[in-house]
Structure 1
Amino acid sequence: MTPFLKKGSNTLVVAAYDPNDGRAPSGKNGPRGDYTFNSGIWQSVWLEPVSKTYIKNIRMLPELEQNRLKVIVNADGAAKVSAEALDGKKVVAQANSTAGTYFYLPIDKPKLWSPDEPFLYDLKLTLYDDNGKTTDEVKSYFGMRDIKLGKVDGVLRPLINGKFVMQLGLLDQGYWPDGVLTAPTEEALKFDMEYTKKAGYNLIRKHMKTEPHRFYYWADKMGLLVWQDMPAIWYQNEDTLKTRKVFRQELKAIMDDHYNSPSIITWVPFNENWGAFDVRNITDWVKQYDPSRLVNGNSGFNNNPDYQKAYGDPMNGDYVDTHIYVGPYGASKPDGKRAASLGEFGGVGLFVRGHMWPVENNAYDYAATTTALTDRYVLLLDKVEQLMKYQGLSVAIYTQTTDVEHEVNGVLTYDRAVEKMQTDRIKEVNEAVIKAGYLLNK
C-alpha cells in the first residue's frame, strides 16, 4: 500500500505548468508558430495499480540478420523475467532472464513487417519475485523489420528489410479545429491515417509534433512508415544553458517513448533551421543513440526563418534533404554517403467554401477545381517518378494531409469533411510510383 493513500476518499490532482513561451519545444504551437496557441495537458492521462516490483518499461530491437529480437525489461532490483513471442495463439519463442539485462528471443523464419504486410508478433512479459510469485505482467507486440542505407544499381537509397521502398507520403501536422493539438476521438485520429493509406501513400511525416501512443499503434497496425519530427524550440539562443538542455532532454524522451514502434524509421531533429542549434552534433548524437534508424538532421536545410541565419546542410546524417515548393525539380541528389529526400513539396491549394478557417487563406499555388488540382498532383507525381528513376530520389513528402487554419493546401479540408482531390486518381498515381520503385530492386 502506497504511503500516499489514506483511508477513505482520496483526491488526485494532475497538473502541468506550461507557459508555451518558446523556451521549451512546442513546434508550430508557440510564439513564433502559425496556429492557435494551446497549453497544458493535451494527451491522455491514466492511472493504473501496480505491485511494489513492476515492469517500468521495455526496449525491443529486431535483429533480422540474426533472426532474433533483442529485449530488455526494466524494473527495480534483479527480478526474474519470462518472455513469450506469439504468432496469433502459437508461441514461437520463449526466454528467461532478469530485469535490467538484455536477452534474445530467437524468431525462426520471421514474418517481416513492411508497409505492404505489416505483420506484428504479440509479446507477453511476466515478472517474478524470488519466491516465483508473479508481480507484474505486460502484453505488447513487435515487428521484425530493419531500415538502413544501401546501394541499388549503384545508387544509395534507404532499404527496408534489404529492399528499396520508395517513401511517398504526406506532411501530417495533426491539428484539429476543435482541439488544436488534441484529436476529438480515437476514430478521428485514425481517420487521417486511414485516408493516407486509402489514397496510396506509405509514409507520414509527423511534422513538428508528437502524438499519443495510439497514433503509433495504428501506424504499426496499418503499415504506415513514420518520419518523426522533433518539435522546435523558438528561443534557443536565449538562456541557452536552460533552453537547449530542455530540448535535448525532450528529444531523448521522445525517442525513448516511441523506440519500440516498427513504423518509425527516421528521426528528424530539426526542420528548416527553425530553432536549430548544434545541428551536426545533435544529428550525430541521435544516430549514435539509436543506430537502428535513419536520421534526417535538418529537413529542408535550404530554407530558414527570417529571424535566424540558416545552418545549411549539416553534411551528416542519412539524407540530403531539400524542400521545394511547388517542385519537385530542384530536389536533392544522393551525395555518396546519404540518400536523397524531398522532405516537402507541392502545397497546391484549393478554396472550398463553407469549409475554411475564418481568416485570409493561402497556399504556395492554387487550382480552381477538384479536377484541376488532381491533374496538377498527377503531373507532380509523374515528375517525382522521373527523379526517382534517373536522379536517385528516394523520398517525396507532399504538403499536406489537411488544411490547417489559414493554410488551404491539404488533401482534406480542416474539418475533414471534403476530399479535395479525386482520391481514386491520387491512389492510382501514388501506387504506380511506389511500384516503379520496387522494380528498381531487380
Structure 2
Amino acid sequence: MGFPHPTRTLGALLAAGTAVAMIAPVLPAQAAASNTWSDKSAPLATPWTSQVSPTNALPDYPRPQLARPSVAKPTWLSLNGLWEYEPSDGFTPPTFGEKLSSKILVPFPAESALSGVMEHSDFMLYRRTITVPASFRHDEQRVRLNFGAVNYAATVWVNGTRLVEHTGGYEAFSVDITDALRKKGPQEIVVGVASPVDSEDIPVGKQRLDPDGIFYTAASGIWQSVWLEPVARTSVRALTATPNADLKSFTVATAVDGPSKNAKVTVKAYAGKKKVGSVTGKADRQLKLKIKSPRLWSPEDPFLYTFKVTLKKGGSTDKVESYAGLRTVGLKEVNGKQRIVLNGRPTFLLSTLDQGYWPDGIYTAPTDEALRFDIQKTRDLGFNTIRKHIKVEPARWYYWADRLGMLVWQDQPALPTGRNDRLSSTAKANLRSETARMVDQLKGVTSIIGWVPFNEGWGQWSVQAAADLADQVKKQDPTRLVDARSGSNCCDTPGDPGNGDVIDYHQYQGPALPAPDATRASIDGEHGGLTLSVPGHLWPSASINPYGAVKDAAELNEKYVANNDDLRDLGAKNGLSGGVYTQITDVEGEQNGFFTYDRQVEKVDEARVRASNLSVIAAGNEQAPAPPPGTPGLGGVGHWTLDEGQGTTAADAAGEHPLTLRNGATWTDGPTTGAGTALHLTGEQFADTGTTVVPTRGINFSVSAWVRLDTADGAFQTVVSEDGDTNSAFFLQYSGADQRWAFSFVGARALATELGKPKTGQWYHLVGVRDTTRGTLTIYVDGKAAGTTSVLATPDVATGVLAVGRGRFGGNPVDYLNGSVDDVTVFDRALSAAEVGDIADAGAR
C-alpha cells in the first residue's frame, strides 16, 4: 500500500500483503452540557458526554464472550484512561523513557471531542507507564496486552522492545509482553500508529479526511479498549461454539496460545446454574457438545448458554467463561419461494441501518449504556434486525445484541469510493484478508446471521470480485447467510454477482422489492431515508437531503407507516425476506434518523412505529392472494389502433378510454404500408387517456405497442406508461442508460440485452408482461422474449392517466419519445409467450 508505517521504526513502508430482563434506557428530556473533561466542546453532546472522565473511560470488561476466569469476576487491568500523546512525522523513531507533549483519553479516537485532542494526524505516538500487579506474574503465568482495535497500523513497544506490528483498523489483537517486562518498577508502553484513512486504498468504511454528505469524520488511533490480563502458559485465545443443524448441540473449537501439543480442553454448558452438557477432548480438535432439553435463541427469547472452559497442558491450567445461543439460519422454500428461516421458521428480517457513529466519540460510544442504547431503542421500535453498516463494533456491542435478541447483518468495511478502476493487486488482496479476519473474529457471535462483503460496489473492482469474495466467506462460514453485494441494482460497478444466499436491491424511498430466485432469498438492503432536521440538534455542517424531506414529525410518521405498508403488502406477503430502513439515528450531515445524532430527540411516535413494524414482521408468514384471471382474449382492456390520421383524439377499440393528443402531437404512416396511421411525437409531445385504464396493484398486466425511434442516445424514452402519484407504475421504454429496449418499474428493469442497441428509423414490436405469481417483468421484442428481471412488486400504483410517449418520475413528466407509436394495447393479465407471438405476427393490426 506504500504509506510510511510506525511498525518499522516509523520509517519503513508497509508491505501489505441466557434470557435477560430488558429495561429500556430513559432518553433525557434536554441536552447535556457539550464541554468534555478536557474542556473540548463536542459539536453535539449526547446524554452520556458529561459522564466521561479520565477515571472512568469505558471501565466495563471489554471481551464478555471470552472472560478469564468468569464474566462476573474477570482478572484484568484496564489501561483505558489518559495516555501521553503527540503527532509524529512517520519516520522518526520514538525516544523511549521520555514524556510526550500532550495527553489523549484512550480509547477515544484522536478526532473526537472525548479524546481531548480533536484533531487528525496521519502518524501519532501514544505512551503510558504502568505497574503490573504482582498477582499477574506467577511462574506459570504470562502477561498479555490486548487491543480491541487501532486504526489503522500499529506498532507496540514495551520497555523499548518492539513486540508486535499489526495492520487493520477493525480487529482485536494481543501480544505476550512477559519477556519484555522489567522485574520491578514501572513498565513503559509505547504505541505508534499510522492512520492514512482514505488517502490510501484500505478499508475505511464511511471515514473520510474531508467528510461530506454520506461520508463522515475519521476515527484514527486507538479507538477500542486496551487492557492487560494474566494467562496460563498454554491458554485459550478464542473459543467458538457453532450451533449444529440438529439444534441440539454445538460444535466447539478452541484456539490456543502457547505450547498446545497434548493439551486437553473441557467445556461445560450451563442453562443458568444447571449443567446441561459437557465434553472433553484434544484442544486442537472440534468437539460436539450435546445439550439436554435445548432452548433455542431467537429475538423473542434470546436465551444464552454459559460455557465454562478448562484448558490443561501439563501443569498449566487456564480457565475461561464464554456463552452462545442455540440457533440456525438458512434458506427454505416456502409457498414456492426461497425464504430466510431462523431455526427452520420463516422470519422476516426487519432492520435499521446502524452506522455506529457518535457526535462526541465518533467511532467510540461514550459509555457502555450508550452502546446499548441504539440496540435497545431499535428493539423498542419493533425491529428485529440491525444492519451494521460498513463498520465492525467493539465486542460489547455484539454482547448486547446477543443478550437483547437483535439479529445482525454484518458488513465488511469498504475501501474508499471512486477508485474501483485503479485498485492495486495489493489493495484487493488486503481487502480479502481483512474480510477473512473479520469473519474469523466474529464467527462466534450468536446475533450475526449474515455477512455483507460489498455495499453498492464501493471498492468493488468487478462484478466477479463480489462473487469471489462471497464464495470465500461462504467457504469460511457455511453456517450463515452471505449477501454478496448489497444494492446490486445500483451505484458503483452495478450488477448481480449471481451467487451467495441473497438478492439485495436498494431503493430510496422504496421499498425495493426484488424477487427471490431458485437458489436465493431476496431482501430490500436499503430504503427510506425520510429527512427531518431538528434545530438545536444538528451537526455543524450542511444538512443533506438525498432521499425525501418531510416538514414535521406528523408527516414523518405518516410517510414511514405508508412506506411500511408497501413493504408489508407488496414485499413480506409476496416472499421478500427482509427490509433495511435508513436509519436509526442522524449521522453528521444526514438528518434521516428516528433519533437525532445526539440521541436527545426521538422524532417518531414510538408506539405507532412499533405497531407498524410488528405488522410487517407478522406478514412474513402470510401468503398474498392469487391475482384475478383477467379479461380473456387478445382484445385487451384498452386498445388504440391510432388509425384516425387526423384530429386530436384516438378511439379506444376495447373500452371507453380515448387518447387525447397533447402539445401538438401529429400523425404519420404506420409500420405496414397502406395499413393506417401512427402517432408521431417529438420533444414534449404525448397522448394520454385522462383516466386510469389498468389498475396495477395485485394484478397481472401486459402492454403492447409498435414503436420507431428517431433518436437513440443516452436519454430515456417512454413508449407507454401509466401515472402513479410520484412515478409511473410501469414503463415500456427505451433505456438510455443501457441503450436497450426495456420493461421497467422504478428500480427494476427487464432489458433486451442480447438484441443490442435499437436502430433508428426501424419499427419494433414491444410487449411488456408483468407476472405477479412468478415475480417477473419480461420484455418481448418482435414476438420473442428478450429479457426478464425478478421483482415482487412496485410501490408505485397506477392512480393517473395512461400515457403514450412520456413517463412520470419524481412527480414530473419525463422521458419523452422522439419517434412514432402505433397499435397500443393493454391487458389486465399476463400474456403467454404464444399470445405475444400471435400479436406480433398479426402486424400492426
Task: Verify: 1:225 aligned to 2:225, yes or no.
Answer: no
Quick one: structure 1 residues 15 and 185, their matched pair in 2 at CA, closer, same or farther if it must change by over 3 Å? farther
Question: Which string of whole-angstrom CA distances, capped at 9 and with x for unpartnered residues, describes residues 199-233 of structure 1?
Answer: 10000000010100000000000000000000111
Superposed, 1:42-441 pairs within 5 Å as 42-65=223-246, 67-75=248-256, 76-78=259-261, 79-130=263-314, 133=315, 135-234=317-416, 235=419, 238=422, 240-277=424-461, 278-305=465-492, 310-328=493-511, 330-363=512-545, 364-439=547-622
Structure 2: gaps spanning 5 or more residues: 1-138, 140-177, 625-845
SS of 1:427 mapped into structure 2: helix
The answer to whether the Cα contact below 8 Å between 2:383 and 2:613 also exists between their aligned partners in 1 is yes
SS of the residue 1:393 aligns to: coil
Take 2:413 and 2:272, find their aligned partners in 1: how far apart are those partners? 37
**Greater mean alpha carbon deviation, residues 201-210 or residues 48-57:** 48-57
Structure-1 separation of matches of 2:623 and 2:278: 38
Indicate conservation of the 8 Å contact 1:119/1:143, yes or no: yes
- 2: CA distance, partners of 1:236 / 1:302: 17
Shift of 1:148: 0.6
- For 1:390 and 1:160, the matched residues in 2 are separated by 17
Of 21-30 and 114-123, the range deviating more from structure 2: 21-30
The residue type paired with residue 298 of structure 1 is R
Offset, 1:57: 1.2
**Structure 1 counterpart of 2:194, which letter?**
Y
* 2: CA distance, partners of 1:223 / 1:440: 26
Q: Secondary structure at the match of 2:231?
A: coil
Write the distance in 1 (CA, Å) between the matches of 2:381 and 2:278: 39
Residues in 2 aligned to 1:293 and 1:107: alpha-carbon distance in whole angstroms: 21
AA partner of residue 179 (structure 2): P
* Distance change (3 Å), C-alpha of 1:105 and 1:390: closer
Q: Distance in 1 between matches of 2:509 and 2:496?
A: 21
Residue in 1 that maps onto 2:674? none
Q: The residue matched to 1:13 in structure 2 has which SS?
A: strand
Farther off after superposition, 61-70 or 351-360: 61-70
Q: Larger helix proportion, structure 1 or 2?
A: 1
- CA distance 1:238–1:194, shift in 2 (3 Å): same
Change (3 A) 1:68 1:32: farther
SS class of match (2:365): coil
Query: Distance between the aligned counterparts of 2:535 and 2:423, measured in 1?
Result: 45
Tell me the alpha carbon deviations over residues 355-392 of structure 1, each in whole angstroms, 9 at most, x when there is no partner: 11122212211111111100110111111011234432
TM-score under structure 2 length normalisation: 0.50
- Other structure's SS at 1:124 match: strand
Query: Which secondary structure state, in structure 2, belongs to the residue aligned with residue 220 of structure 1?
Result: helix
- In structure 2, how many angstroms separate the alpha carbons of the residues matched to 1:38 and 1:139? 32
Paired residue type of 2:319: E
2:513/2:571 contact within 8 Å kept: no
How far is 1:80 from its partner? 1.1
Give the conservation status (yes or no) of the 8 Å contact 1:236–1:276. yes
The verdict on how the C-alpha distance between 1:123 and 1:417 changes in structure 2, with shifts beyond 3 A counting, is same
Superimposed CA distance per residue, residues 31-62 of structure 1 (whole angstroms, 9 cap, x where no aligned partner): 58611123122111221111211111112211
Residues 247 and 328 in structure 2, CA contact (< 8 A), matched pair in contact too: no
Match of residue 12, structure 1, among 180, 185, 189: 189
Greater RCO (Cα-Cα under 8 Å, separation 6 or more): 1
Structure 1 position 66, deviation (Å): 6.2
Contact 1:115 1:223 in 2 (8 A): yes
**Mean alpha-carbon deviation: is it higher for 260-269 or for 63-72?**
63-72
* Letter of the structure 1 residue corresponding to residue 441 of structure 2: D
Instruction: Give the whole-Å Cα distance in 1 for the aligned partners of 2:523 and 2:247.
Output: 30
**Aligned to 1:12, what secondary structure does the other structure show?**
strand
**How many residue pairs are counted as aligned between the two chains?**
434
Match of 1:29 in 2: 207
Q: In structure 1, what is the Cα distance between the partners aligned to 2:210 and 2:240?
A: 35
1:239/1:358 CA distance change after superposition, 3 Å: closer
Q: Which amino acid aligns with 1:365?
A: G
Distance 2:458 2:440 in 1: 23
Contact 2:232 2:316 in 1 (8 A): no
Matched position secondary structure for 1:141: strand
Give, in whole Å, the separation in 2 of the partners of 1:394 and 1:82. 39
Instruction: Identify the range of structure 1 (412-421 vs 99-108) with the bigger mean alpha-carbon deviation.
Output: 99-108
What amino acid maps onto 1:276 in structure 2?
Q
Report if the CA contact (8 A) 1:22-1:30 is conserved.
no
1:285 Cα deviation (Å)?
1.1
- Counterparts of 1:231 and 1:389, CA distance in 2: 29
Cα separation, 1, equivalents of 2:255 and 2:577: 37
> Percent sequence identity over matched residues?
43
Partner residue in 1 for 2:28: none
Contact 2:388 2:410 in 1 (8 A): yes
1:172 to partner: Cα distance: 0.3
Moved more, 144-153 or 64-73: 64-73
Give the 3-state SS of the residue equivalent to 2:276 in structure 1.
Answer: strand
